[in-house]
Amino acid sequence: MKIGFIGLGIMGKPMAKNLLKAKYELCVYDIVPAAVEELGAAGAQTCKSVAEVAGQCPVIITMLPNSPHVKNVVLEKGGILENGKPGTLVVDMSSIAPAASKEMEAALAKKGMHMLDAPVSGGEPKAIDGTLAIMVGGTQEDFEKAVPLFKVMGGSYTLVGPIGSGNTCKLANQVIVALNIAALSEGLMLAKKAGTDPRKVFEAIKGGLAGSTVMNAKAPMMLAGNYKPGFRIDLHIKDLNNAIETGDTFGAALPLTKEIQEVLKQLSAEHEGGSDHSAIAKYYEKLCHQSLKED
């Protein structure tokens, strides 16, 4: 069975490569020719359009930046809806607004096509390792069809609820991650300003109640001054915009989310939008006139 894969960016490329390593027959497309060529060299069938992918693949994975990009690929002329066949399963692994997932699923259903929203968490390192956390919205039947693919790309995969639930779960994840990074930055800066070694603080608390996957991943980056993107600040801004919009729609108060969003926007305005979201630490460094980087 041919699997289509549309979107070969920081996350999509290693995810697609893992599917190839698992011996899946992959048809790939991206607007960046070099990314398509790289996957072709790895053994994928390269395609020149979304239509070419949709016309031959009963399962299509999309991994794109935001709601408008996915809606364009799925709904617009030359897209999956127009060129896919009844029974096609679209597995959107992008992080987008839940309302957009529901809109696309409704349109696809009219043509006898199916959809899962299945955003991921873990950033580039876990995409490379095939250990992403996958949060899924859709039917049990469609979920079970996609499980073999999820096993290749993820360390965990959970059916959260009906369509849109996967992206709602991802928004909650992104709120929690952003606030964790901010709390970590704030705590390490407190230690540094008080004359206590932040590295020792990290080692002392990581096994306690404050410890987390976020801390283990981001504290070493902050202490090394290494902000090479695993997940860019500008993408986190996009996710929190979707979270705030969803919160406003359903009456969920998100005061802390709105505060950290302003921090992220300020960093983006200072040309840090392409940095890893652990660069929230730079906001505290500027406030405190102190670097967290180890000497």
pLDDT tens-digit profile of 145-204? 999 999 999 999 999 999 999 999 999 999 999 999 999 999 999 999 999 999 999 999
The reported pTM is: 0.91
Each domain of the chain, given as residue ranges in start order, spans 2-162, 168-288
Residue whose structure tokens are 């969003």: 261
Q: How far apart are CA 147 and CA 55, in angstroms?
A: 23
Q: Which distant-in-sequence residues (6+ apart) come within 8 Å of 244 by Cβ? A: 254, 257, 258, 261
Distances 264 to 70, 86, 149, 283 between C-alpha atoms, Å: 24, 42, 34, 9
For 200-249, the pLDDT digits (tens) are 999 999 999 999 999 999 999 999 999 999 889 999 999 999 999 999 99
Which residue in 13, 17, 102, 170 is the catalytic one? 170
- Strands (E) in 120-190, as ranges, are 120-121, 132-137, 154-161
How many angstroms separate the CA atoms of 178 and 278, rounded? Answer: 9
Distance CA 227, CA 123 (A): 13
Query: How would you label 139-174 residue by residue, b for 16+ Cβ within 10 Å and e otherwise?
Result: eeebbebbeebbeebbeebbbbeebbbbbbbbbebb
Quote the CA–CA distance of 132 and 119 in Å, as a whole number. Answer: 10
**CA proximity to 188, closest of 290, 256, 264:** 290
Report the chain's C-alpha Rg in angstroms.
20
Q: Give the model confidence (pLDDT) of 43-74 as tens digits.
A: 999 999 999 999 999 999 999 999 999 999 99
The CATH classification of domain 168-288, taken from the options 3.40.50.300, 1.10.460.10, 1.10.1040.10, 1.10.579.10: 1.10.1040.10
CATH 3.40.190.10 given to domain 2-162: no
Is 206 annotated in the active site? no
Which runs of E-coded beta strand occur in 82-231?
89-92, 114-117, 120-121, 132-137, 154-161
Q: Where are the beta strands (DSSP E) in the chain?
A: 2-6, 25-29, 45-46, 59-62, 89-92, 114-117, 120-121, 132-137, 154-161
For strands 45-46 and 25-29, give the pairing. Answer: parallel
Q: What tokens appear for 78 in the block? A: 């030359």
Structure tokens at 244: 């705030």
Is residue 295 scored above 80 in pLDDT? no
Q: Which residues pair with 27 in a beta bridge?
A: 4, 45
For position 123, what pLDDT does the model report?
86
